[in-house]
Structure 1
């Protein structure tokens, strides 16, 4: 059977799998695993400065979920879906084997084997007295304890290894434990990884005529069955390109667009470089090398980064320098004078009284005391701080800058505003710049795979080479700007772009680069555009711009000694001390080679356009978008860092795009203009989608007001929500401490059926509650079925909670009028502060309906129904913690859902991946007063009672206090008993469980005695 037997449109209007089931927990883990790969992610090599890419594994799951049909057997559908994602047991075994994740000794310790030596060999010799015993051993076996080293037999086959890997992985309890051992699916040979699944897939869809032996074949055949041709996936907010790239890798035709030309460039690069054939990649690599080598020859001939011994510079370390008004001394400015913690290298300031300035000596191999002293620089807490002749001087940097508040309330200063032909400070500027150290590569190791480097003080010869570079730039800057080789574009003020203007006086984008950087980038730009003219190579030029500027930080941490990127975070932070790469150190950024991906070249067609989302003129069956909602990253501002370098005379197809960030047109993350822009965008996509097409919208969940906004947007766009899933996509980092939301909500939408549909709140609310109950009960039923087979549920509480919201949105977005008001008008009218709309009310009712069904295991539904929000929150999260849940986003979401005013008051930790509640024993008396949210509840009284028992207060005294403090004690006593029994089962501390048992028994005895 082949695809020629397919009946086009046989699946027209068939419900998609993602509308009913989606393994959100497994996708969450795999998405975070991909995130943690950092620069090992597939697309980051083109430009890691774009941080907002959605994980490729998530995109793959969404596209497949939209294409696969429901067959009426949700459990079987889910099983096939997980096979296609390599989430099934066989896929995990193959992924783990490709990682060599388990040593023979690890396997031996986990599984039973009657014939272990058919697979393993050991280090016991034949003449050893133990040899006979060892030969008869069965497994499991602690080889380390027995002192036997085992390894794979040379003749053991891959199938044999897979057999043992399957058995070993089955001993792990959770999916996360198994998948943590594995390579990501995209890292494994695709033909081998998915070889076993195709017979099962073809059997599942035999009635449709499907016979596929790869994802690309399956995708094309499903597209024919649904739409009569290969499916087309569109993304009008393509950003870094993960959605178009993964859709193309699966075999879809792709349309991508973005208002921002840098986003378009990265997306185009993902499709045309990462997705290129090996032959095309070889051509690109050759062009990269030729460009880099020509410029290297020029720099070498100029002699500007070699010293008199033939050593070549790797990095140049600079700092600001300013004249202290109190002493008249020129003082170098740096928060730290540590250069290398690995080699104990520091810069030491030596007073030069004759010139009223400081010499800077670079010292290597210094003592621990000297290293510690060097950690304190001359910039501390916003102050210039330095010692001179036994006295410490302090001067606020704001004072040095001359900060003052203008009549309009804005902050200004006395810094001179740099002009178009400036590239270095003028002699009378407040802030000067000084080269204070150079990292050199020894002449002997330049051509070796691993170079030897050292740090040195700056010499007169070094300064002479520096002045020569400045002279070259001064003589050529105007011409370079005219030719578009160096920026001539002014910095437009904005939220992020104000900082370089305010703190340094920089007004043009080229001011963010010093003379060396301008020279290197000008020469590279000229070679790419005049000698190469390849768009692919220009993308690597953009990548290199991120690696060397006046905003690149020197990382002196142990084992580092490296240049950090300009956009290590998403801002334009000016620095007191910074580093410039030498050309030798910059060239590898231009010649960088990302790994080849399997399946390249992609079989589908793809196009990339630079345009507003609302002006889309291409039709797609699926629109998958990650819009700029609640997005703290101002890409429309920070990408202007790149645009001035790329905008003049770009090669095809970049010459078809508008090289301007077009800030005024960018959809920003909140407010009335945001809603209007989003409506226009999603209405345009709906108009360019067939009636049986699907849209998937990803956004970060905040609160019910967010959901209300999205309801309005989809209403006005003519779309109806049919499903929602919650996926944890982010990982913790130093930049994300505290209360950051870590998840993404995935909304699935279809076109709203034609016609007028009117309703009133009184009728809609019962329909919402019924839909919520039906959705959650269906999911919980599937949980029970699958849990019985695999040992873990498909949906966690966050999934079920999101399903409640989705059910409400599904009901709401089916209407065109509510209470007589047209929903489009309702969606677009401005909101007033504090306004609670009918939509807000209905969405909140949906949340409460969902939460009322999510009764923690071990607590009665009757008790749950009578709990307040903070009590539900505490007991629900106590139950979740017993499963090992510790992600902050779970606590955030449930706190909002239960309308908890300040959930942090009951939290012991707010760390992103190690969040937890306060234990019963960790509450202080201040936490449990009547003025606190939990202290005012009877759960708070129970916590106090348990603490009293632990402090050896008589149980009868505790009971008497509860009776005195609770006027309705007799009525709520059954609830108290139920909650104490719950705490007895769920509390992590043995003494708390025992105290809860004692107190519960006393309360039951009161009932038995009729008191």
Structure 2
């Protein structure tokens, strides 16, 4: 229900009150829930309308930011945190309900976890008795979850909060919220009511959340779902369309969802009827095609043979189906036979196709041939550095290769559905090479397309948009000679997509049609295990395939193309505009943005793949947006142009929010230089940082291996107070150190308090480190002049390569100050103060590993903070979610020389000593060597003893712990002059 204004509230009573997120934020729990949501893949709420937009921030994170920005702190930080966690469904009661919704425990498991004196009261056989209520079940679930130690262990058993019935999940929460905020007159029974009442107290009315880089729509969607008014804008019309879809399709009420589902069914019936009428998907027996497998074919310059280009000849791994090339000497080409049920040896051999490592590789009569694909294309480089090749550039009216083209396209396999099972729940399918009748149906499709292409393009049913060269868009041009977007589609793709679009006249169906472009093109690959399509934008790039999948019209017409979930939006006032961020026209109390930055995906290029389908005759309200390439206006890249674009955007947002408004900026940092850039941007925009939090948002995937997995930094900002304020480095540095210490000590005190009651701290080391950055930024961004230079001028002037500015120095000082306060448990502060950066890094991470920390971004963050040049030299594993240090036994001699960071250090010498002890050397001999090698041995002996004692407690290797104990005792009890 919609919130109603309550007369007991005092408008603007919280006008000058800080926001809870400025001091308290359950970052660890938000991190876990955000990763769980991202790990749900297509089960995420918004992906069904466009999984091709990969940059959406988790909805649970957005909800936490909105609530944290509206809720006020009280004098009891622990109680504030408890209420916040209840509203996020992170508390123990919510976890019990979420676990019950997931049916997390069987009757057997519950009886294993907790003593149940009368199990017959609850269970009948292996299941629940029918008369057992949810309250009864909850009682057992509460007890069972209490046996798990960590939040992660408990939450991993649960459904995500948004997947659980909201009325039931939050039933116990609202009375507690109302009691906690009784002094403010809060009387809420739903999120829309709470949001409106907090908005009245802060701003005098329901709050509006704005996002001028709305992207895939997660920020406006989640803000609207909990009852905020919403303003969303983006330069990219695809982003606006996805945001509209999130709010109007995913967020539709039950009646509207039913209408949308009916519209989808009617569209499928209409398209199916046309496809059947064309007679292009059924064979003579009435069997229907499900999928078509195509490949390129080219003529080898060495032999003159036409060779199919296939990366992997396996068609179905589980069914042992492969493609076999049989030489046709008469025609100097290969016949492709599809064979089912082959041996494991043949299946293994089929992994090697005719395209290997960028080369065309094949064999005739026992002789092998290999030709680089670059050679086939005729790639060349001119003296001026430009490149080109011999590929013919396709023309606007082309939709298939011409006979003289270097690369031809060939259908080599069809997946068929047996006639009797076409409408069955369990279908029978098989694979076969195309017959002459199948090839005749291919020619029939080509005839239809040839006859209609020009008209389709004029009517906007098929793209006629040229591919504009760019970082991503150069690939189709360079690799295939394609010059227009429709060249990325087979004739079957074009016929199906034109048929869909002809019937998809409403905005929701137009959005569905646009999404189909992601599943019907030459960029779609074949998953040989699951026997399904891998969508075109899986890799967020426009690289081309040598072989690909074309789904039949049957698949579209008999699939749930947009899954509609119960995620109703409660916002009353929603505005969506396609415009640059600096041209905002709408005011908002809270701006939450996930802006582009130096390492962002080039959405302004790759989404032209979709824009091409929508640019002619889009339905209302999409017709209000500019459907064309607007690359020149996009904020992209790095350097001065990037900073100026960002300043203009954030200055415009600052001018469109009240003095007590709040901004949240999310960014995934990969370069410490981005920090300095952002400081300058916020300075010039008139904003001051008031808090920073670190959230682990990403999960392991094939697309994000190595060092690419990152967390998200949440920066909270307010308008900088009016007036001039000048600072100098000599005065700012002490203020930064003081603020960093105050912030971290406050957080550590809350950690200790919460740990004493609940056993788990609120903040981890990364949170505390980010708090150090935030404290520095809070001090820095309060100034209008630094060292006599206006901060706007400073922010926008070009930076010399390798230049270290005063801002860089201050930010690094903040990181070092924060790090110096994060002494690992069990290590003396005096020892910590004397360690080098690499020594601090190894011992800090060794301590973190004892808590189960395995995130690579933790290692990246601390390596930066400790100024470690190459932390990879001390890493034993650098997988994103399985990172760890090298064990003592894994260090090679080359890792511990004077040429490495660790080698010359005292810790490096101790690692050598431990290895010597493990190899059998006597303790007194090892200690004597250390004594002779270290000129300052007497001074550093206590430090060595302390580090060995730390390693004894923290090392995961039992033999290393034993060796550290022996050597530590020998050093501690060493007698001089004996």
Q: For each residue in 1:702-748, what CA deviation from the matched residue of structure 2 results, as whole angstroms up to 9, or x when unmatched?
A: 34322111110000000000000000000011121111242000000
Equivalent of 1:291 in 267, 272, 293: 267
1:470 maps to which residue? 446
1:454 maps to which residue? 430
Aligned counterparts of 2:779 and 2:727: Cα–Cα separation in 1? 10
1:852 maps to which residue? 820
Q: Does 1:196 align with 2:164?
A: no
1:584 maps to which residue? 554
Report the alpha carbon displacement of residue 851 of structure 1 after superposing the two structures with TM: 0.4
Aligned counterparts of 2:581 and 2:77: Cα–Cα separation in 1? 35
Aligned counterparts of 2:84 and 2:600: Cα–Cα separation in 1? 34
Q: For each residue in 1:883-916, what CA deviation from the matched residue of structure 2 results, as whole angstroms up to 9, or x when unmatched?
A: 0101101001000110001111111000111100
2:319 maps to which residue? 343
2:121 maps to which residue? 118
Aligned counterparts of 1:887 and 1:938: Cα–Cα separation in 2? 27
Aligned counterparts of 2:201 and 2:818: Cα–Cα separation in 1? 36
Farther off after superposition, 787-796 or 739-748: 739-748
Q: Secondary structure at the match of 1:52?
A: coil
Equivalent of 1:385 in 361, 369, 376: 361
The answer as to whether partners of 1:701 and 1:741 remain within 8 angstroms in 2 is no
Aligned counterparts of 2:342 and 2:974: Cα–Cα separation in 1? 75
Q: Does 1:33 align with 2:2?
A: no
Q: Does 1:690 align with 2:630?
A: no
CA distance change for structure 1 residues 153 and 447 in 2, over 3 Å: closer, same or farther?
A: closer
Q: Does 1:567 align with 2:554?
A: no
Q: Secondary structure at the match of 1:706?
A: helix
Report the alpha carbon displacement of residue 527 of structure 1 after superposing the two structures with TM: 1.8
Aligned counterparts of 2:50 and 2:962: Cα–Cα separation in 1? 57
Aligned counterparts of 1:825 and 1:995: Cα–Cα separation in 2? 58
Q: Does 1:96 align with 2:99?
A: yes
The answer as to whether partners of 2:298 and 2:306 remain within 8 angstroms in 1 is yes
2:379 maps to which residue? 403
The answer as to whether partners of 1:438 and 1:455 remain within 8 angstroms in 2 is yes
Report the alpha carbon displacement of residue 603 of structure 1 after superposing the two structures with TM: 3.7
2:910 maps to which residue? 942
The answer as to whether partners of 1:758 and 1:815 remain within 8 angstroms in 2 is yes
Q: Does 1:596 align with 2:565?
A: yes
Aligned counterparts of 1:290 and 1:107: Cα–Cα separation in 2? 47
Aligned counterparts of 1:661 and 1:79: Cα–Cα separation in 2? 48
The answer as to whether partners of 1:324 and 1:330 remain within 8 angstroms in 2 is yes
Q: Does 1:66 align with 2:69?
A: yes
Report the alpha carbon displacement of residue 151 of structure 1 after superposing the two structures with TM: 4.0
1:666 maps to which residue? 634
Aligned counterparts of 2:283 and 2:89: Cα–Cα separation in 1? 55
Aligned counterparts of 2:66 and 2:82: Cα–Cα separation in 1? 17
TM-score normalized with structure 1 length: 0.95
1:540 maps to which residue? 512
Report the alpha carbon displacement of residue 24 of structure 1 after superposing the two structures with TM: 0.3
The answer as to whether partners of 2:670 and 2:710 remain within 8 angstroms in 1 is no
1:131 maps to which residue? none
Which residues of 2 match residues 349-360 of structure 1 at below 5 A? Answer: 349-360=325-336
The answer as to whether partners of 2:482 and 2:488 remain within 8 angstroms in 1 is yes
Equivalent of 1:1004 in 961, 972, 975: 972
CA distance change for structure 1 residues 490 and 2 in 2, over 3 Å: closer, same or farther?
A: closer
Equivalent of 1:76 in 69, 76, 79: 79
1:863 maps to which residue? 831
Aligned counterparts of 2:149 and 2:223: Cα–Cα separation in 1? 33
Aligned counterparts of 2:89 and 2:131: Cα–Cα separation in 1? 28
The answer as to whether partners of 2:358 and 2:373 remain within 8 angstroms in 1 is yes
1:249 maps to which residue? 225
The answer as to whether partners of 1:2 and 1:210 remain within 8 angstroms in 2 is no
1:879 maps to which residue? 847
Aligned counterparts of 1:381 and 1:919: Cα–Cα separation in 2? 35
The answer as to whether partners of 1:335 and 1:378 remain within 8 angstroms in 2 is yes
Q: Secondary structure at the match of 2:148?
A: coil
Aligned counterparts of 1:900 and 1:400: Cα–Cα separation in 2? 46
Report the alpha carbon displacement of residue 114 of structure 1 after superposing the two structures with TM: 4.0
Aligned counterparts of 1:825 and 1:1003: Cα–Cα separation in 2? 57
Q: Does 1:843 align with 2:815?
A: no
1:184 maps to which residue? 160
Aligned counterparts of 1:271 and 1:383: Cα–Cα separation in 2? 47
Q: For each residue in 1:936-970, what CA deviation from the matched residue of structure 2 results, as whole angstroms up to 9, or x when unmatched?
A: 10111111111111222111111111111111110
The answer as to whether partners of 2:314 and 2:323 remain within 8 angstroms in 1 is yes
Aligned counterparts of 1:664 and 1:1003: Cα–Cα separation in 2? 67
Q: Secondary structure at the match of 2:664?
A: strand
Q: Does 1:681 align with 2:653?
A: no
Equivalent of 1:739 in 689, 694, 707: 707
The answer as to whether partners of 2:5 and 2:197 remain within 8 angstroms in 1 is no
2:767 maps to which residue? 799
Q: For each residue in 1:473-528, what CA deviation from the matched residue of structure 2 results, as whole angstroms up to 9, or x when unmatched?
A: 11111111111111111100011111100010000000001111111111211222
The answer as to whether partners of 2:45 and 2:565 remain within 8 angstroms in 1 is no
Structure 1 stretches of 4+ moved >6 Å: none
2:746 maps to which residue? 778
Q: For each residue in 1:745-774, what CA deviation from the matched residue of structure 2 results, as whole angstroms up to 9, or x when unmatched?
A: 000000000000111000000000000000
Which residues of 2 match residues 229-628 of structure 1 at below 5 A? Answer: 229-528=205-504, 533-557=505-529, 560-588=530-558, 592-598=561-567, 600-628=568-596
Equivalent of 2:696 in 701, 713, 728: 728
Equivalent of 1:642 in 565, 586, 610: 610
Q: Does 1:85 align with 2:54?
A: no
Equivalent of 2:676 in 708, 715, 721: 708
The answer as to whether partners of 1:321 and 1:434 remain within 8 angstroms in 2 is yes
Extract unaligned runs of 5+ from structure 1: 123-149
Q: Does 1:767 align with 2:735?
A: yes
The answer as to whether partners of 1:254 and 1:605 remain within 8 angstroms in 2 is yes
The answer as to whether partners of 2:49 and 2:562 remain within 8 angstroms in 1 is no
Farther off after superposition, 781-790 or 284-293: 284-293
Report the alpha carbon displacement of residue 381 of structure 1 after superposing the two structures with TM: 1.6
Aligned counterparts of 2:884 and 2:479: Cα–Cα separation in 1? 41
1:140 maps to which residue? none
Farther off after superposition, 320-329 or 879-888: 320-329
Report the alpha carbon displacement of residue 3 of structure 1 after superposing the two structures with TM: 2.4
The answer as to whether partners of 1:2 and 1:211 remain within 8 angstroms in 2 is no
Q: Secondary structure at the match of 1:465?
A: helix
Farther off after superposition, 401-410 or 190-199: 401-410
Aligned counterparts of 2:11 and 2:486: Cα–Cα separation in 1? 56
| Paired residues, number | 975
Aligned counterparts of 2:171 and 2:72: Cα–Cα separation in 1? 22
Q: Secondary structure at the match of 1:858?
A: coil
Q: For each residue in 1:150-197, what CA deviation from the matched residue of structure 2 results, as whole angstroms up to 9, or x when unmatched?
A: 543333221111111111111111000000000000000000001011
Q: Does 1:161 align with 2:106?
A: no
The answer as to whether partners of 1:295 and 1:523 remain within 8 angstroms in 2 is yes
TM-score normalized with structure 2 length: 0.98
Equivalent of 1:653 in 597, 602, 621: 621
Aligned counterparts of 2:932 and 2:674: Cα–Cα separation in 1? 44
Name the Cα RMSD after superposition: 1.3
Report the alpha carbon displacement of residue 116 of structure 1 after superposing the two structures with TM: 4.1
Aligned counterparts of 1:588 and 1:802: Cα–Cα separation in 2? 49
The answer as to whether partners of 1:700 and 1:741 remain within 8 angstroms in 2 is no
1:142 maps to which residue? none
Which residues of 2 match residues 889-904 of structure 1 at below 5 A? Answer: 889-904=857-872
Q: Secondary structure at the match of 1:376?
A: coil
Aligned counterparts of 1:38 and 1:462: Cα–Cα separation in 2? 36
Q: Secondary structure at the match of 1:109?
A: helix
